[in-house]
Structure 1
Amino acid sequence: MPNRNRPAPLAIVSFSLMATLCPTAGVQAQLMDSDPSSPDVEVEPSTSWRGASEFPPETTSDVLYGSFLAQGEDPPTAPFEADPIPPSSVGETTYPLPAEDADLDYLNPDPNPLLLPTQPEEVEILGTQPLTLEQAVELAYRNNEALQVARLELERSREALREARAALFPDLNLSSDLTARNTTGTSGFSFFGDGFTGGGFTGDGFSTEEEIDTTTQSTLELSYDLYTSGRRAASIRAAEEQVRLQELALERQREQLRLDTINDYYALQEAIEQIRINQAFLEEAERNLRDTELREEVGVGTRFDVLRAEVQAANARQQLVQARSDRRTAQRQLARRLALPPSLDVTTEPVTVAGTWPLSLEKTIVTAFQNRAELEEPLVQRTISEQQQRVARAAVGPQISLFANYSVRETFGDGDSPSDNYSLGARLRWQLYDGGAAGAQADQEERNQEIAETQFSQARNQVRLEVEQAYFSLEANRENIDTARLAVEQAKEALELARLRFNAGVGTQLDVLSAQSDLTEAEGSLVTAILGYNRALAALQRAVSNLEATALTP
């Protein structure tokens, strides 16, 4: 219970309200109506976020300086002040931000992809690594498993191309046989033996002779398909187009990975900013609760006001707890996307406006049509189907091949020298009837071509829609940034007026609570507008793709 015997309570209330209106960090104040011997009353510093509204409207590098997760580090000098965010857990180490050209090999995962941790300490988070957005994208390109699979699939298709090109060369085969044959011969009547049992005589008086002939034969044959009705050329062309298709798939996967990494990075930034905003709101709510309790002590407040202030503080505390949970989830999501070692977490730089888009909507659409891999993929798939159709039709066409072989034969034990021979020739094979299988397969590939053409039209419309959605979102969020800046200024002014009216007795505590909530909402809206703008810009870059190879000129 509050100490009701505390001296000069009215002066305490008066000064507390003045400190709320005019916060000064690190200042200790004495009661104005107390004597010098009275104990000093420390007023907790109140850091009010000034927001990006103090930035010039034309500035494109506005920084919403949230707090760093780094322990023991002071926030960087910024156009506004911010409260530091406490570390995510006790015992973690926050590493310094790497330089832009720093070697990030220590952030690579274990090279053994089959490694499975079995001990709790192997998955314990030991530190937090700050990263810039560019470093996060670089790590994603290097470590992400899905992109590695796409690279391996490209290598596999290149090996398949080597296999198809092997048909351009002749085949050279060597075969060797070793044969042992048992031969049995019967001779004429003999006077020796009993004529019935053994002694080389049969029961009929004839003798038998058994011999084993061992023969070896080796053959060296050279063959070459001289004419295949277009099957060989079509197979090679199809394999080449398959390599191109995998290259486009890798490009598409890389561009999508860049967008997903950027969105995860911005999600973590938003979670960190929400912690800062909710932390400031909680401090304001707790300060208001203390003031309300003091008013109740001196008889100028009611129990109802105290209960309302307690509810507001409790709600603010819950929102802060949830914001911290969201930050941890966002950290793990980004760490998973970057395939970081299991003992590291990640944090971000402060929120900034990412940049501007120099092209008009119409030129952006045309640039996307020229660059998107998704538009080339159906065309490549159509070409593959055309070549597969040629392969199917070649199955019922004439096939001409040349061959030459040389063989050596020798029978052991006959006393004769080995015999050899060679042969040269041409072979014609023509399948005159296959029940219509080749024609049906060719018709399937023709349908595949029509499907690819339809998919091209579908992809073209989808690309345009993605460009327009991102472009419209970019414009809307750019306007929302200016509106949100103004709203933050107005909410701060409204909060000051609500406090003054409340102190003068013409306002209510509900007005103060509402003004505090409005300021928190306005600050959150400003963060949302800036990150929405950044996300729209990243989506627009994804919709165009291949920005490095494109001259982005108005």
Structure 2
Amino acid sequence: MYSKKRSSLLLTTYLLLSCVTPSQAQDVETNTSPQNPSSAQVQSTDKFNSSGNPLLFPTKTQEVEIEEQQPVTLNQAIEIALNNNKDLEVARLQLDRSRDSLNASLATQLPTLNGQLEFNQRGDDSPSPGNEDSIMRDRSLLLGQIELSYNVYDGGRRNANIARSSREVYLNQLEVERISEDVRFRATNAYYELQNADAQVAIAQAAIEDFSQTLRDAQLLEQAGLGTRFDVLQAEVDLANANQALTRAIAEQRNARRNLAQVLSVGQNVELTAADEIQENGQWPYDLEQSIVMAYKNRAELQQLLVQREINEQDREIALAATRPTVNLFANYNFTNTFTDTFDSTGYANGYNVGARLNWEIFDGGEASARADVETRNIEIDETNFAKQRDEIRLNIETAYNNMIANKENISTTETAVTTAVESLRLARLRFQAGVGTQTDVINAQRSLTEARGNFLQAIIGYNQSLNELQRAVSNLPDNKLFEVR
């Protein structure tokens, strides 16, 4: 929570002197007011859902023209990104597909029942009794069979397939979580970048007002015979430079808005603005060592490598199953009925069979063993990648943690610097107006204040970005829950 002093300083720094004299400042299209948006300002996120047609191809300028600017909060930006992200949608479809594959593998545990019915007609050229002349007769056969079979043992292939399919489901669940975490991270980071761009515009506006005041003071002193033309020219140059800085800040702001729209995959006609005020978004309650251990436990990437290793182990079992015997039990019932051309039944027979079959490919040239060796190499690769990923995670944790601590300390330091710079500029301007100070003192104080304002806001935004990186590196934070797998 911010103290009243810090909130006041943020207001002063973020929107100091909103009245900007140069015409360029009128082109600013930002909602930089650091106030919590009302329900009327921030609407439902449903309108930001991307088009249902992934092949949408705008061909007219009005189809890509910005029709409205809509402020969104950080939480809304994350919600929109999770709803619209195509990679996440594909991951969820792949999860559904893996569940279907698991059901197919489980079905092999049940016996199979097959039925067959055959009808055929044939001519029989044979002599009738007491007559040597042959007579062509039509005979019809009706053949039927029903068989129940069950695979008792298939060398371990069935159990390996079931285990493999089960681990694939878990692997895809982890992939949904990983992509969800990445989407949350990228949306949050893009939002903070937009906040920073908004802040730079506000700082540039405040700098223009400061330099405009200096120019007015220099002109008044020149008119009173207490100043020089050189002071006026120097003030005009500084004001022109401040206008250039504002122009660059506006361009960066527009780019940041488009980047946020791209990350959130919103419609072609919508431009998003940041509705949240710039403030510290939470505290990190864990030390460095606890953060590292939590990351090892939580990161989906590490768990995915372990699951992939288990899948490769099952693939090895499947390969070796080709060299093992298989045992099948079967029971069938069959019947035969013969009809003449007058459809009189001339013979009916039926019977049944019950038995077992043993199949064993004793030698396959070494193919199964070679395929098993391939999976063994894949297991070793998974283990090596696990160690590599673990080291990368630790580096990410330490980097984000150290940056967060540094930015946290800089917030207090830069806050003091802004307070001091504001007072220094006030005194320098009073001395200059009284004719006992120089314009150089005023200009130096203005530049110091602009830099201090930027450092202060950058420290806050940098802290939030480091906190976001730390949450992503640890994963499953800040709520300690996996993203819902749908």
TM superposition score category, shorter chain reference? 0.7 to 0.9
| Deviation sequence 1:143-200 (CA, Å, 0-9, x none) | 22222222111111111111111111122334455657688999xxxxxxxxxxxxxx
- 2:77 is matched with which residue? 136
- 1:484 is matched with which residue? 414
User: Does 1:503 pair with 2:433?
Assistant: yes
- 1:42 is matched with which residue? none
Distance, in Å, in 2 between the alignment partners of 1:411 and 1:342 is: 74
- 1:535 is matched with which residue? 465
Kept in 2, the 8 Å contact 1:170–1:222? The answer is: yes
Aligned partner of 1:487: which letter? A
- 1:443 is matched with which residue? 373
User: Which of 58, 64, 72 is equivalent to 2:10?
Assistant: 64
- 2:99 is matched with which residue? 158
Q: Secondary structure at the match of 2:237?
A: helix
Within a 5 Å distance, the mapping from 1:99-110 to structure 2 comes to 103-110=44-51
- 1:432 is matched with which residue? 362
Aligned partner of 2:83: which letter? R
Check 1:511–1:101 CA distance in 2 against 1; reply closer, same or farther (3 A cut).
closer
Kept in 2, the 8 Å contact 1:229–1:397? The answer is: yes
Q: 454-463 or 403-412, which moves further after superposition? A: 403-412
Distance, in Å, in 2 between the alignment partners of 1:544 and 1:406 is: 63
Check 1:211–1:269 CA distance in 2 against 1; reply closer, same or farther (3 A cut).
farther
User: Does 1:231 pair with 2:172?
Assistant: no
- 1:405 is matched with which residue? 332
Distance, in Å, in 2 between the alignment partners of 1:435 and 1:385 is: 22
Who wins on radius of gyration, i.e. which is larger? 1
User: Does 1:287 pair with 2:217?
Assistant: no
Higher helix share: 2
User: Does 1:549 pair with 2:480?
Assistant: yes
Check 1:89–1:535 CA distance in 2 against 1; reply closer, same or farther (3 A cut).
closer
Q: Secondary structure at the match of 1:225?
A: strand
Distance, in Å, in 2 between the alignment partners of 1:304 and 1:516 is: 18
Distance, in Å, in 2 between the alignment partners of 1:167 and 1:156 is: 18
User: Does 1:121 pair with 2:47?
Assistant: no
Within a 5 Å distance, the mapping from 1:166-205 to structure 2 comes to 166-176=107-117
Kept in 1, the 8 Å contact 2:191–2:260? The answer is: yes
State TM-score, norm by structure 2.
0.83
Check 1:292–1:102 CA distance in 2 against 1; reply closer, same or farther (3 A cut).
closer
Kept in 2, the 8 Å contact 1:62–1:353? The answer is: no
Distance, in Å, in 1 between the alignment partners of 2:27 and 2:137 is: 93
Q: CA deviation at 1:239?
A: 0.8
Distance, in Å, in 1 between the alignment partners of 2:446 and 2:114 is: 87
User: Which of 382, 389, 396 is equivalent to 1:466?
Assistant: 396
Check 1:426–1:477 CA distance in 2 against 1; reply closer, same or farther (3 A cut).
same
Q: CA deviation at 1:63?
A: 7.7
Check 1:62–1:532 CA distance in 2 against 1; reply closer, same or farther (3 A cut).
farther
Distance, in Å, in 1 between the alignment partners of 2:141 and 2:109 is: 36
Kept in 2, the 8 Å contact 1:270–1:528? The answer is: yes
Q: Secondary structure at the match of 1:356?
A: coil
Distance, in Å, in 2 between the alignment partners of 1:66 and 1:167 is: 71
User: Which of 253, 267, 270 is equivalent to 2:196?
Assistant: 270
Distance, in Å, in 2 between the alignment partners of 1:353 and 1:476 is: 14
Q: 277-286 or 419-428, which moves further after superposition? A: 419-428
Distance, in Å, in 2 between the alignment partners of 1:157 and 1:356 is: 39
Distance, in Å, in 1 between the alignment partners of 2:337 and 2:57 is: 60
| Deviation sequence 1:70-90 (CA, Å, 0-9, x none) | xxxxx9xxxx77569867669
- 2:449 is matched with which residue? 519
Distance, in Å, in 1 between the alignment partners of 2:235 and 2:476 is: 54
Distance, in Å, in 1 between the alignment partners of 2:286 and 2:332 is: 68
Check 1:83–1:135 CA distance in 2 against 1; reply closer, same or farther (3 A cut).
farther
Q: 133-142 or 463-472, which moves further after superposition? A: 133-142
- 1:339 is matched with which residue? 265
Q: CA deviation at 1:219?
A: 4.1
Kept in 2, the 8 Å contact 1:174–1:219? The answer is: yes
User: Does 1:55 pair with 2:55?
Assistant: no
Distance, in Å, in 2 between the alignment partners of 1:97 and 1:87 is: 25
Distance, in Å, in 2 between the alignment partners of 1:241 and 1:100 is: 46
Check 1:62–1:309 CA distance in 2 against 1; reply closer, same or farther (3 A cut).
closer
- 1:45 is matched with which residue? none
Q: Secondary structure at the match of 2:323?
A: coil
Kept in 1, the 8 Å contact 2:42–2:72? The answer is: no
Kept in 1, the 8 Å contact 2:217–2:433? The answer is: no
Higher relative contact order (CA 8 A, sep 6+): 2
Distance, in Å, in 2 between the alignment partners of 1:62 and 1:182 is: 106
Distance, in Å, in 2 between the alignment partners of 1:66 and 1:437 is: 76
Within a 5 Å distance, the mapping from 1:375-414 to structure 2 comes to 375-407=302-334, 414=341
Distance, in Å, in 2 between the alignment partners of 1:375 and 1:55 is: 45
In percent, how many aligned pairs have the same letter?
Answer: 44
Q: Secondary structure at the match of 2:65?
A: coil
| Deviation sequence 1:398-454 (CA, Å, 0-9, x none) | 011123334455667545456555433322211111111110111111122222222
Check 1:82–1:421 CA distance in 2 against 1; reply closer, same or farther (3 A cut).
farther
Distance, in Å, in 2 between the alignment partners of 1:439 and 1:489 is: 75
| Deviation sequence 1:188-241 (CA, Å, 0-9, x none) | xxxxxxxxxxxxxxxxxxx99988877664543332211111111111011111
Q: Secondary structure at the match of 2:108?
A: helix
Check 1:302–1:425 CA distance in 2 against 1; reply closer, same or farther (3 A cut).
same
Distance, in Å, in 2 between the alignment partners of 1:257 and 1:305 is: 53
The alignment's C-alpha RMSD in Å is 3.5
Q: CA deviation at 1:274?
A: 0.7
Q: Secondary structure at the match of 1:395?
A: helix
Kept in 2, the 8 Å contact 1:252–1:374? The answer is: yes
Q: Secondary structure at the match of 1:549?
A: coil
